[in-house]
Amino acid sequence: MTTLAKKKVMTKLCTSVSAGSLEELVGKANLALSLGSDLVELRIDRLTEGVSPREIEAQLSVFAERAVVTVRSSRDGGMFWGSESQRLDLVSRLAQMGPAYLDVELSTARENRKWMQALPKDVKKIASWHDFKGTPDLKALRSIREEELGFGSLAKVVTTAQRMDDNVTTLALCAEEPGKTISFCMGELGTLSRVVAMRLGAPLAYASIPNEAVAPGQVSISTMRTLRSMVV
């Protein structure tokens, strides 16, 4: 039976930011860090079409050591405007900045194993998987996590809460591998899991800048900082 005993892992707070322009993205990243976020997730896929990789790298490299770089594909809930080859090329280029983490979808890693292996070894990878409709059972989520850990140092398994019990499923997954598993539910009913996961040793917890949630159920960075001090 899972307990809420304290873990040695201190959860880092990561604020997700997105914008149509680089200037706006830089401003939001600076705001997130000024509000006390440990890391900032840069949602590159939400930039307006036409921004060159060189411009992106030049403007965002200043955040590299505290950045989670995400270029989410459209099939995985992202908004990338170009082809899949363009997306992979962009991820490869941004990996050269040396970000704290690079978020790569499990589906992308599965289908592009050689590309995945060619990414810089010194950049930590988050292998991610999302279910935008519901929450599979724990056995299914365990299988996903184990596959993800074959590709990245962290496994991110995110589902959608249709009922309160779904929180228990994702939290059980998180508790089994503290320090390696980021697992919680999206949606209003899933907010509980975002908070309790910090108690169970989740390495990262995602937040938003005030009134700008990037995913359903995200809590502001200021509130998450307060909650972390209470539960960890």
**Nearest in space to 39 (alpha carbons), one of 66, 9, 8, 76:** 66
- Give me the catalytic one of 12, 28, 125, 130: 130
**Nearest in space to 184 (alpha carbons), one of 203, 200, 175, 171:** 171
Which strands form 39-43's sheet, in the order they lie side by side?
181-186, 154-160, 124-130, 101-105, 67-70, 39-43, 12-17, 204-208, 219-220
Size of the chain in residues: 232
Q: Are the C-beta atoms of residues 22 and 62 closer than 8 Å to each other?
A: no
Locate tokens 């390696």: which residue?
180
- Give me the catalytic one of 12, 125, 156, 180: 156
Is 156 designated active site? yes
Is 124 designated active site? no
Catalytic residue annotation: 130, 156
